[in-house]
Amino acid sequence: MTPETPGAGSPQIATPSLSLSAGRLAAWGWRGLALLGFGLYLWAWWAVWKLIEPMIPDTITVDLVVRTITVEEIRHKVLDAASLLVAMIPFVLYVEAILVGWEKSSVRRILFARTESIKMDLACLAAGQTPVMRVIGKVLTFGLSAGFGVWIHDELSKAVGFNIGLGFMPDIAQVFFYFWLYTFFDYWTHRIDHTYFFWPLHRYHHSTEDFCVITSLRSHPAAFLGVFIINAPMAILGAPVSVMISVNLIVTTIGLLIHSGIDSDWGWFGKWVIQSPNHHRLHHILDYKTHGVGNFAIAPIWDHLFGTYKGEAGPELAIGVDKPLYRQGWFFFIDLFRDYWDFVKTYALFVVGKRRID
């Protein structure tokens, strides 16, 4: 009898796999990298904070003509606000990665596929515009606007004979009301940013050529007036500091989301309630002279009411600034100084009557 030779006629026995699929390994791999990056991010933030904490005064007093405004417990406020920002950025990065996938996520592009534009975003964070330094500026400006607003609130309350605030409402209702008040003033300050005078500073933010979550934090260090103008009305109406901080936290989170790589218009919600990434991409359009600038508002209802709603755009739309040319990449200081000089020069030319407002 001829022994049976193993071959096509022999039964096949499946061998259990001893390893995870490549897809699952990749998924766990990027999650691990994200957690590692978050840990390094926390460590770097803590190190920077310990370095600059002794340099930060705890109290600042500003003497105005009508009132002396004192901002107290600056270090405590900076630490609280910076802690929230430290938590927000990784959270939004993670949400974006879940929605768009690892390949298109800002986390992957920041770590492994940095474009020149993303390098510039990172350089802005690393050189004088780190989350801590950014928060210090906002706390000081926020504190001054709140102090100035409280003074006006007290004077108005005395004039009318009653408290004009909304203290009778629960905090959640106040946050809702003051958020919409914030978006109204933010809409108009944003439109002012696009005018003849202030565009030389605001165009620095528009110079990005590639949306990334941290693009939201790319702003010229001299463009701080909007923080004062936007927050003062809340203080004038008597908003508690906790409510003002909550509103600013919500707005900052929205800013991170609308500069993300999420390809969505959010349906009717993005058209009327909160601006979507696709709507904001159209605002950053490169060829703005042809298509016009619009979509200024975090809350699109204001664009609809004031005739600046322009619709939406997909991720293929080119964004950026055509003139002047921005270097992108790691070295951006020359562009910062040039923009500030253009701002001063624009104002000077207008004062002497050689230029008019466009």
Higher-confidence residue of 344 and 73: namely 344
pLDDT score for 13 = 46
Q: Is 258 part of any domain?
A: yes
3-state class (DSSP) for residue 142: helix
Q: Is 97 part of any domain?
A: yes
Q: Is 283 part of any domain?
A: yes
pLDDT score for 230 = 77
Q: Is 212 part of any domain?
A: yes
- In tens, the pLDDT along 201-215 reads 899 999 999 999 989
Which range in 72-81, 286-295, 316-325 is most confidently predicted, on average pLDDT? 316-325
Higher-confidence residue of 77 and 295: namely 295
Out of 36-45, 166-175, 195-204, least confident range: 36-45
pLDDT score for 136 = 52
For residue 265, the number of C-alpha atoms closer than 13 Å in the C-beta half-sphere is 13
Task: Output the CA–CA distances (angstroms, integers) from residue 254 to 68, 86, 195, 311, 352, in the order listed.
Answer: 34, 15, 24, 18, 41
pLDDT over 90, % of the chain: 26
Q: How far apart are CA 358 and CA 353, in angstroms?
A: 13
pLDDT score for 3 = 45
Scanning the structure block, which residue is given the tokens 């390809």? 263
Do 258 and 280 touch, CB atoms closer than 8 A? yes
Q: What are phi and psi of 265, to 5 degrees?
A: -100, 0
Q: How far apart are CA 302 and CA 293, in angstroms?
A: 14
- In tens, the pLDDT along 237-260 reads 888 877 887 888 899 899 999 999
pLDDT score for 14 = 47
Q: How far apart are CA 343 and CA 341, in angstroms?
A: 5
Q: Is 123 part of any domain?
A: yes
Q: Is 41 part of any domain?
A: no
- In tens, the pLDDT along 267-310 reads 999 999 999 999 999 999 886 665 668 999 999 999 999 999 99
pLDDT score for 68 = 60
3-state class (DSSP) for residue 345: helix
Q: How far apart are CA 331 and CA 119, in angstroms?
A: 9
Average pLDDT over residues 314-330: 85
Is residue 264 pLDDT above 70, yes or no? Answer: yes
Q: Is 96 part of any domain?
A: yes
pLDDT score for 316 = 83
Q: Is 335 part of any domain?
A: yes
Domain boundaries, position 258: 62-351
**What does the block give as tokens for 251?**
């707005």
Q: How far apart are CA 283 and CA 270, in angstroms?
A: 14
Number of domains making up the chain: 1
**What does the block give as tokens for 259?**
């500069």
pLDDT over 70, % of the chain: 64
